[in-house]
Amino acid sequence: MMIISRITLIIPLFLSFSLHSTAQETDTVKVFKSDPRHQKLVAFIPGAVAVTYGFVALNSNWFRKLDYHIYEKLNERHPGYHTAADDYMRYVPAAAVYGLDLLGIKGRNNFRDKTALLLISATLTSGSLQILKASSNRMRPSRLNDYSFPSGHTAMAFAGAEFLHQEYGESSIWYSVGGYGVATATGILRMYKNAHWFSDVVAGAGLGILSTKFAYFIYPSIQKIVTGKKTSNFTMLPVYQNQAMGIAISGKF
């Protein structure tokens, strides 16, 4: 039976939601003010492509051959490589946001809003990881367990890198370069340690990026619900499908 048939598509990032354009621009939400495109769906394409690559690699012989080829090359050059750096590096991009704030370098949002956005992103990332790891049952290269797909360390690192990009990318491109550089290094170290296949890392990167982008996308509607200032067109409902829990999202933006 194909592995992908056991993977639920009801995950927090790929939940069914409808988008309708609106001519009215909100005055109360700072999240959209610095983005003239108002977070158009085109911004989600790179992350979606990365996640799709990972799903395809679960059942594609060609992509699996690439996974094994990279695995063999890494082990030829650095057999038995081990480090704990990746366990800490996954937190660096997100921590940098608060470090810059402490230094007086103001980002896109205030402390309260950026923290709420980070919590939403972390919830989406961790929830999706749990569902996918339990559903895919892919064995790690090290044969330690079958929670290889996707890479959790990489997902967290890239979620943080996108968080740093969203908050400080407009101030300087080097903040984004630094954050994504650390996230990329985290993913590479996961492969060197035989903790993940290449496609696991690619999917994890896409998952992390999408989680943070989606957090920024839905946050204005969540603010409306919490503050009660306006009637929100955004709704969330729990769903259960293919023995997995998820959230169905529907709304107008």
CATH of domain 29-218: 1.20.144
C-alpha triplet 180, 181, 183: angle, nearest 5°: 60
User: Residue 22: pLDDT above 70?
Assistant: no
Residue-range domain boundaries for the chain: 29-218
User: Residue 233: pLDDT above 70?
Assistant: no
Kindly indicate the confidence band of residue 18, based on its pLDDT and cuts at 50, 70 and 90. Answer: very low
User: Residue 149: pLDDT above 80?
Assistant: yes
Q: Tokens standing for 127?
A: 């929830």
Q: What is the pLDDT of residues 203-231, one digit of tens each?
A: 999 999 999 999 999 999 888 888 765 54
Q: What is the pLDDT of residues 165-175, one digit of tens each?
A: 999 999 999 99
Q: What is the mean pLDDT of residues 95-117?
A: 96
Q: Tokens standing for 29?
A: 């939400």
The pLDDT, as a whole number, for residue 224 is 86
What is this structure's pTM? 0.78
The pLDDT, as a whole number, for residue 40 is 60
Mean pLDDT of the chain: 82
Ramachandran region of residue 39, left (φ > 0), alpha (ψ -120 to 50) or beta?
A: left
Kindly indicate the confidence band of residue 252, based on its pLDDT and cuts at 50, 70 and 90. Answer: low
